[in-house]
Amino acid sequence: MRRLLTAAVAMSLAAAALASPGTATAVDEVNTKRLRDAVTVNGILQHERAFQRIANSNGGTRASGTAGYDASADYVVNRLERAGYSVRRQTFTFPFFRELAPGSLTRVAPAPEAEFETSTLEYSGDGDVTGSLTSAKDNQVPPTGPSPGGSTAGCEAGDFTAAPPAQPAVALVQRGTCDFIVKVRNAVAAGYDAVIIFNEGNTPERSGLLENVTLGAPAAIPVVGISYADGAELYRNVVAGPTTVTVSTSTETDLEAETQNIIADSPRGAKDEVVVVGAHLDSVEEGPGINDNGSGSSTILEIAEEMAELGYTDRLQRRVRFAFWGAEESGLLGSEYYVENLNPNQLDRHYANLNFDMVGSPNYVRFVYDGDGSETDPAGPAGSGQIEQIFTDYFSSQGLASEPTEFSGRSDYGPFILAGIPAGGLFTGAEDIKTPEQAAIYGGTAGIAYDPCYHQACDNISNLSTKALFEMGDAAAHAVLTLGRSRSGLYEDGSRQAQSKAAKVSLEAKGHAALR
């Protein structure tokens, strides 16, 4: 799951009206037991171990733009071609970023000198700057607004006073409201040579070290993140008098790096109703990404192989397309490239998108994307509620609890719902903290993250719950085969096109929360 945490995708009232209610579904029941029995934890782990070996042989990472990703793609292509799928590589360029050494932040004056825990934001520039520190306007210390988005600091050009001429200067700005890159560009326009972004401080989740986030686009100057407490300390230093800091980053960015999506089509199924079953194949630079997202990639690869082995790929109502996305961790770039390069006729043929991003979290919860918007806002495009119900009905039939999670735009379903394509999927949790209520229902430990190794080197083959893989793997297999073989489909008349004529879906991306 990418660093770039996109905020909830805002939909107009027309979009909400199109979202199908969760209490009714046009999807007829499909017997999926043979496939669920064939999709095993052992089969999923076979692929996970292969991804771990690939990472071990390639510097501990499978990030897009690295040899580890290329080897992962080769592995997936080989397995899919052997299973009888028509496979293609969709190559695209993207801005590859690598942190060569940890960033640092030191207060030089006033005394005493102090070092602060720091993270380098993805796409930060490279450099070493010692200069006077200036606070942006509207930094809230203490925080007073709602969360997220309470602070507007740095969102307007006028939020930064002009940097002192002919000497290095560093801007201190608080997270909130607008994308990080907007704050940085406004600081650069005002003449600053480095930027420190401190967390918002409104909630526990927005108080710690600002890390695992991205600018979304390359910056020419060093940009580091710190905690709210450290930001508040530096803010008070500036208010009290002249303050000098040193900001250091060691990074490289290649604006024209190449990576690829792996696209595999079933040999049968209606070509005018394509069900895209997706998972991102890349890891972050920091680790092998065995849960994030080796778990999703391994699960859909196991489903693809077993569907072929059982002969289902020759007996489908709709074409099933398995997609392994590249550069998700850099900002959903693979899935965005895929959707943006569909012509109108190709786009109309896309029936649904299923997304599986992190389905083996060690402290897991059974999350289902809230397609009908009954518990979270917003709802997905028409048909998303029916997809949600496929999952929730399945879990209920197995005596398993589940709970909705919002269409936050955090993963590769984002570009599909922005294009009006119904979507759904499963998620077992990332860096957020498990509640006592969830621990009582799902087991595990309250007060710690669903995945304590999220975006870290320890996201390795030991960072998995086999119980989660079993439960979510079966649910994923059930949904894939149900959408592939259902005769009635998602809509009462069996067509997405008729539903689309009822109203126009107006979608507007609110932006990226990890960009904010």
d(CA 46, CA 49): 5
The token duo for 415 is 């570009």
Q: Indicate the DSSP class of residue 388.
A: H
Helix (H, G, I), strand (E, B) or coil at 116: strand
Single out the catalytic residue among 48, 211, 305, 328. 328
Peptide bond into 452 cis (omega under 30): no
Contact in structure between 511 and 179 (CB atoms under 8 Å)? yes
Residue 386 carries which side chain, given as an amino acid letter? Q
CB atoms within 10 A of CB 254: 14
Q: 223: part of which helix (H) or strand (E)?
A: strand 223-226
Tokens 């006033």, residue? 110
* Paired sense of beta strands 270-280 and 169-174, if any: unpaired
Cβ atoms of 238 and 135 within 8 Å: the answer is yes
3 state DSSP class of 306: helix
Is 328 one of the catalytic residues? yes
Angle at CA of residue 43, ends 37 and 47, nearest 5°: 150
- Its sign, for the CA torsion 128, 132, 137, 140, is positive
Separation between Cα atoms, residue 155 and residue 179, nearest integer Å: 8
- Which residue's structure tokens are 């108080």? 207
Q: Which of 494, 487, 485 is nearest to 32 (CA)?
A: 485
Kindly list the catalytic residues. 328
